[in-house]
Amino acid sequence: MATAPVLGTDTLSAIAEQLANRLTEAGQLALDAGKPMEIGESFPIWVIGLAPAADAGLAFRSATATGYWHHQIRHAGEATEFAKSRPLGPGPRDWMVEEIVTSRIAERVDAAITVLDREVPGDEQVRMLVIPAYFVHAFWIGSGTKTRLLLIDKPEYLAGLEYGQVYNFDEFLQRLSQQPHVVGIPPERRPQ
């Protein structure tokens, strides 16, 4: 089964304490309803930009660890939210939760974890890869030249990549590069 790097118990406890002190509306509703909350899987977050996404070799070399981690948050066993944290120092208490989000991405991550458990039997490293120019999240599986990607989330309009399928790294990026990407916010038009 594919595995992510494991955070220590002390680190997870420090993160859980911060989450408890910063409940979202969904978190508060879960607690009020007596639903237990827990931190699920955690993944280091990597990112690649637009230019590298068009060239798999460049993407592989330019993928950058952001220093952030994605944490699944479950309410009564259901992935409802996720949090992002990062270490600000060497100790477990030096971790800072910077974002807690109620999002469908938490559900999509859980669905992708199910696929990983089924389709990736070896003990391969897994990290989360974000490609902001396409609004894409994927699991990056393995290391070296034989890495693969599993789609976690994409915009509805993006075609050519399917949920539940493990792609060769090059093939995933080739398919992605054929899709429209974000071009930024156009300048404000002034009335004439």
Q: Name which of 119-133, 150-164, 177-191 the model is least confident about.
A: 177-191
In this predicted structure, which of 25-29, 117-121, 135-139 has the lowest mean pLDDT? 117-121
- The full length of the chain comes to 192
Give the up-direction half-sphere exposure of residue 142: CA atoms within 13 A in the CB hemisphere.
16
Q: What's the rounded mean pLDDT across residues 121-144?
A: 91
What is the pTM (predicted TM-score) of this model? 0.89
CB atoms within 10 A of CB 168: 13
> Which among 170, 177, 140 is positioned nearest to 43, based on CA atoms?
140
**Residue 59 pLDDT greater than 70, yes or no:** no
pLDDT of residue 67 exceeding 60: yes
Question: pLDDT grade, residue 3 (50/70/90)?
Answer: confident
What pLDDT score was predicted for residue 192?
Answer: 60
Please tell me the predicted confidence (pLDDT) of residue 190: 61
Kindly state the percentage of the chain with pLDDT values over 70.
Answer: 90
Burial of 29 (0-12, 13-18, 19+ CB in 10 A): middle
Burial (CB count within 10 angstroms: exposed 0-12, middle 13-18, buried 19+), residue 138: buried
50 pLDDT band, cuts 50/70/90, is confident
Selection from 162, 5, 117 nearest residue 71 by Cα: 5
Residue 123 pLDDT level (bands cut at 50, 70, 90): confident
Which pLDDT does position 185 carry in this prediction?
A: 63
Using DSSP's 3-state secondary structure scheme, residue 58 falls into helix
Mean per-residue pLDDT over the chain, rounded: 89
How many Å is the Cα radius of gyration of the chain?
18
Mean pLDDT on 18-24: 93
80 and 26 in contact (C-beta within 8 Å)?
Answer: yes
Quote the DSSP letter at residue 125: B
Closest CA to 22 of 67, 66, 73, 70: 73
**Which 3 state secondary structure label does DSSP give 3?**
strand
Cα–Cα distance, 62 to 52 (Å, whole number): 7
